[in-house]
Amino acid sequence: MKKFFGILIAIVFTHMESTSQILAPGAKLTLIDSSFSFTEGASTDKAGNVFFTDQPNDNIWKYDIDGKLSLFMHGTKRSNGTYFDAKGNLVSCADEQDELISISPDKKITVLVKDYEGHTLNGPNDVWIDAKGGMYITDPYYQRDYWTRTKPDEALGGEKLYYLPPHSTQLIKVDNDVKKPNGIVGTPDGKYLYVADMGAWKTYRYDINNDGSLSNKTLFANEASDGMTLDDLGNVYLTGNGVIVYNSKGAKIEHIDVPEKWTGNICFGGKDKTMLFITASKSIYTIQTIVKGIE
């Protein structure tokens, strides 16, 4: 009898351990395509269609809500990280000439930012847009083979985090101490901003003030992230070694293995925003969840 109950307890415990707080029952990572050079910049439009970049080939691709993959645009000024604004324009960190650009649904490009106080940016990498239309931009330096320069402009004072106020063309530094900012995402209520610092290998959380400035910088996770997203429960998704999920209190609750050397970015897509879309090196993957994205 004791042996029976021991087996029963072990079975129940194993079942409880295997229950995910994030993934749908029986969910499996699905490879969609593996024919790219380096995938990045995953973003979702209001309908749930996912757009992502293949920067070495200067392309933006679309994975629609029906599961169809198609080329959206070639000639994107080497777009990297992206995010949709309220008008449906795809705002892109384009480091061919180190600019922040906006791509309209009919593929018209508008340059939003081309420098900081007359100095060439390091290489805009990721962007998040708040409800007011203000944009937070990370600007690390990663040498590109299509650049003529071989070092950053020292006048920038390093690799910084910037804020672009609504209807402005002038960037404002909002963290002068960050070493190499990369992945970024904010909460939909506009209260908090999460930023990964690849130089410190940390992820931080900031309070967002009414004027867009940041305060109360606190350590959120002892690891950095290339790209980030949030779900409707406030869980934070980091990328790099697969996908690592933290709850809003900073406790690690999930790790999704991805069979690639590097996971670059992530977002939720699909009609109900319950499909987790993952860009990973030369491939893109999806996996079904029980939570919803906030894009």
Distance (Å) of CA 295 to CA 64, 103, 234: 15, 17, 12
Burial class (CB in 10 A: 0-12, 13-18, 19+), 114: middle
Degrees to nearest 5, angle at CA 142 with 279 and 166: 75
Class of domain 21-288: mainly beta
CA-closest candidate to residue 84, choices 42, 38, 138: 42
Side chain identity, residue 77: K
> What's this model's pTM, rounded to 2 decimal places?
0.93
> Structure tokens of 211?
């004027």
Each of the 295 residues of the chain gets a pLDDT tens digit; together they read 444 334 333 333 333 345 799 999 999 999 999 999 999 999 999 999 999 999 999 999 999 999 999 999 999 999 999 999 999 999 999 999 999 999 999 999 999 999 999 999 999 999 999 999 999 999 999 999 999 999 999 999 999 999 999 999 999 999 999 999 999 999 999 999 999 999 999 999 999 999 999 999 999 999 999 999 999 999 999 999 999 999 999 999 999 999 999 999 999 999 999 999 999 999 999 999 999 998 6
Degrees to nearest 5, angle at CA 128 with 108 and 295: 85
288 within 8 A of 275, measured Cβ to Cβ: yes
Run of H or E residues at 9: helix 2-18
208 within 8 A of 186, measured Cβ to Cβ: yes
> Structure tokens of 53?
């970049």
152 within 8 A of 119, measured Cβ to Cβ: no
Rounded distance, CA 114 to CA 116, Å?
A: 7
Q: Which residues contact residue 219 at a Cβ distance below 8 angstroms, ignoring those fewer than 6 apart?
A: 202, 203, 204, 205
124 within 8 A of 182, measured Cβ to Cβ: no
60 within 8 A of 105, measured Cβ to Cβ: no
